[in-house]
Structure 1
Amino acid sequence: MKDTATPTAADRVPLTAAPASSAGDDGSLPHLREIASFGHQVTGVAVAADGRIFVNFPRWTEDAPISVGVLTPDGDVRPYPDDRWNGWRNARRDELNPQDRWVCVQAMLCDSQNNLWVLDPGAPAQAFVVPGAPKLVRIDLATDSVVGCIAFTLEIAPQGSYLNDVRISPDGRFAYITDSGTRGAIVVVDFGTGQARRVLDGHPSTQTDPGVTVHAGGAPLRRPDGRGVELAADGIALTRDGLYLYWQAVKGKTLYRVPTEALRDTTLATDEVGNRVEKVLEHRPADGLHIDRTGRLLITAVEEHAVKVWDGATLTTLLHEPGLRWPDTFAEGPDGTIYLTDSRIPEMNWFKPGHPDALSSRLLIIADAAPSAAPDTKPGTPPGSQSEADRNRSPD
């Protein structure tokens, strides 16, 4: 593992921030606008090319009645793709098939081929992994039907794992998944062979940082028994050319990256892949990551009620709102609108006994989404690397 060197201009990936003047005539930061609220805890969001918005609700503190839903024009959430897939109930675990039902969905994304990908770690309450439940499911948005499913064995998603977030390569041949469980890793899925591998399994870059304590409201975020937030490799982002993968542990302060060709190369030994990992940036705990169509790397600042932007040289505050309890997951709409879920993790009854099992949550959009001019840090490290030809071509 190495620190990234300061690049030449030809090496930079254009994760460039928009001019600060576009943030508002009065120089204010962008702001959040709520577009939906839920009576259950939301984590993931995905937006299709036709504008449909999908959300998911993991089974953390309650047996959520809907796991994956699509927002209707009147603001309701309709089970997606149907009631059967949303029919799992923890109390009926012994009689239901976990392979064709949502057990504990954590994340989703829409790709450029009009597919919705749904990641189900199959571990209600982030605890026992239900055998047969961990899976990555592909839904054809043209027909609203399931057309593919990669089922993960206990070798790929062992007890203690929690498959957290996913990105699909621009050519649609590979998936990259973070495991934020007790032993962090990156899971690489080859759709051509249908095979999955755990890469960087136990590597320091995918583990929790023992020197970091996640805070909320200025105090350590802990359960009554003293346990804090122990989420390993969590947020994930893929450069638009597919050349670099980024990730960070929630209980961590370091943003890492690795060339994706190293993850895909099955001939590389574990330590050889580890030697390709680069430290990009040290800051504070983060959850969701996203590289938008302009090339900006957006980072959720979970302790600071904020969203930040990394442009390859500076980390900048895009927005700060005290009411943002836990900025969780980004999605980008067909018009470039950035969506953000607020999962309110500090308000869970894991950390606040007496709070209800069902936790209300919100879906927001970032209005006037241009980064602040005031930098937080200047580490001088680029988000990624690509050729001049790659930088000038249209995104996939």
Structure 2
Amino acid sequence: MKPPLIAASALLLSACASQTPRPPTDSPLVVAAESREQIWNGVALAEDGRVFVAGPRWTGTRGPALAHLDADGKPHAFPDEAWNAWTPGGDAQRAFVNINAIHREPDDSLWVIDTGSPDFGGAPLPGGAKVVRIELKSGTVSRVYPLGADIATPQSYVDDIRIHDKTGYLTDAGRAGLIVLDLETGAARRVLDNHASTLAPQDRPIRLSGQTVKAPDGSVLRVNADPLELSADGQWLYFASLHGPWSRIETRWLRDASLSPEAVASHVEPWADLPPTGGTALDANGDLYFSDLAEDAIKKRTADGRIETVLVDPRLHWVDAPYLTQDGWLWLPVPQMDRVALFNGGQGKTTWPIQLLRLKVR
């Protein structure tokens, strides 16, 4: 699959106060798309190379919550306008309230994680927290998995998903824990609630440009269970708070509903001491690509545990969930999350335009 190059000049509207640093002439980064209206924290590519982007409502993003970028880089609501038309007071069950992540599976299905709350840290609206499956070939929603109040609790921020066979595994960055979703029955269970492996540690703050990121209330921002990956055979789930370090557990223990919380917790193992990261991508060889937030860098943890720096560049400032194509391109949304107004006393510090970058890694 050879993804199309999305025109970098698309979506350029009126100039903003700050500008993206000028790239060095020898940089391996390729600008795939830019926007002066939308903050994208997620990207996925269809089998035919179509590019999809999404971003959470609380960043101040305007435009569709989930969009397909055309050949000129212009966003179009996906799967349709209705799914992207939610407004306060509207039906939260059949519209996107707040998308935090998108994830494409090899069968060309796109999985959308809706936290269900339009506000950062707010309780999910009734029926709002959900997993939405979209068939990319037809552009239709094939199933909605509601996450009830016992799963997506008032303290929850359902974060991301990985899938193997008939099971989905999700992280909850609000109420620390994992969610196991049966994709056939739709039944969901919480596991590892408030376990050390899913809780944000007190001694690993998120720092960018030498500054500690603060929550809206002025306290140090702490993000519980956030990044996760599955081994290619589905045997191991790797996961962490945004801050690290990472743990792993065999998925058979997560799928066994007969086990007590203590029994499940006993199978958690330390895996990798990685720094705070905005997002990750795991390849079939077991190499994990991740953004090192403190260093504006993309790094790789090899299958044998070595850490290699792939690229350091000031434009890689809070790279969020990357997407790795089969032909070795790492797609990098750069939402600059620490610069949004929510984390800066209401004063946005985003360096415009927001960029979607590509980097050849193998």
What's the TM-score, normalizing by structure 2?
0.87
Question: Is 350-359 or 257-266 further displaced after alignment?
Answer: 350-359
Q: Does 2:67 match 1:75?
A: no
How far apart, in 1, do the equivalents of 2:38 and 2:167 lie? 32
Which residue matches 1:148?
A: 143
The match for 1:351 is: 343
Out of 179, 190, 200, which is 2:192 matched to? 200
Q: Post-superposition shift, 1:323?
A: 2.1
Aligned to 1:11: none
Which residue in the other structure is 2:308 paired with?
A: 316
Question: Is 1:263 paired with 2:254?
Answer: yes
Q: What is the alpha-carbon distance in structure 1 between the residues aligned to residue 216 and residue 96 of structure 2?
A: 30
CA distance in 1, matches of 2:179, 2:245: 20
Write the distance in 2 (CA, Å) between the matches of 1:316 and 1:335. 20
Distance 2:173 2:216 in 1: 22
CA distance in 1, matches of 2:317, 2:293: 8
Q: Distance in 1 between matches of 2:62 and 2:178?
A: 28
1:288-303 alignment runs, 5 A limit: 288-303=279-294
- 1:1-396 pair list within 5 angstroms: 31-38=28-35, 39-62=37-60, 64-89=62-87, 93-94=88-89, 96-128=90-122, 129-169=124-164, 171=165, 173-181=166-174, 183-223=175-215, 225-250=217-242, 252-311=243-302, 312-352=304-344, 353-355=346-348, 360-367=353-360, 369=361
Partner AA of 2:348 in structure 1: H
SS in 1 for 2:144: strand
Cα 1:358/1:148, change in 2 over 3 Å: farther
Question: 1:225 deviation in Å?
Answer: 4.5
Q: Deviations over 1:239-265 (max 9, x none)?
A: 111111111212x33011111111111
Q: CA deviation at 1:109?
A: 1.3
1:168–1:174 Cα contact (<8 Å) kept? yes
Q: CA deviation at 1:319?
A: 1.3
More divergent stretch after superposition (355-364 vs 114-123): 355-364
**What is the Cα deviation at residue 156 of structure 1?**
0.4
Q: Secondary structure at the match of 1:327?
A: coil
Shift of 1:184: 0.9
In 1: Cα distance, 2:261 partner to 2:215 partner: 35
Distance 1:235 1:224, change over 3 A: closer
Partner of 1:272: helix, strand, or coil? helix
Deviation at 1:358, TM superposition (A): 11
Bigger drift between 325-334 and 186-195 goes to 325-334
Q: Deviations over 1:71-99 (max 9, x none)?
A: 1011101000000000012xxx22x2111
Letter in 2 for 1:58: P
Question: What fraction of aligned residue pairs are identical, expressed as a percent?
Answer: 32
Structure 1 residue 223: deviation in Å? 4.9
- Residue 359 of structure 1, CA deviation: 7.1
Comparing 128-137 with 286-295, greater Cα deviation is found at: 286-295
1:14 paired residue number: none
- The CA distance in 2 between the partners of 1:260 and 1:332, in whole Å, is 23
Structure 1 partner of 2:17: none
How many residues are matched? Answer: 333
* Residues 49 and 333 in structure 1, CA contact (< 8 A), matched pair in contact too: no
SS in 2 for 1:323: coil
User: What CA distance in whole angstroms lies between the structure 2 residues aligned with 1:360 and 1:290?
Assistant: 24
Give the ranges of 4+ consecutive aligned residues of structure 1 lying more than 4 Å apart after TM superposition. 356-360
Secondary structure of 1:106's aligned partner: strand
**TM-score by structure 1 length?**
0.80
Distance 1:187 1:360 in 2: 35
Greater Cα shift, 334-343 or 303-312: 334-343
Closer/same/farther in 2, CA of residues 359 and 307 from structure 1, 3 Å limit: same
Equivalent AA in structure 2 for residue 114 of structure 1:
D
CA contact (8 A) 1:180 1:232 kept: yes
Does the CA-based 8 Å contact 2:192-2:261 persist in structure 1? yes
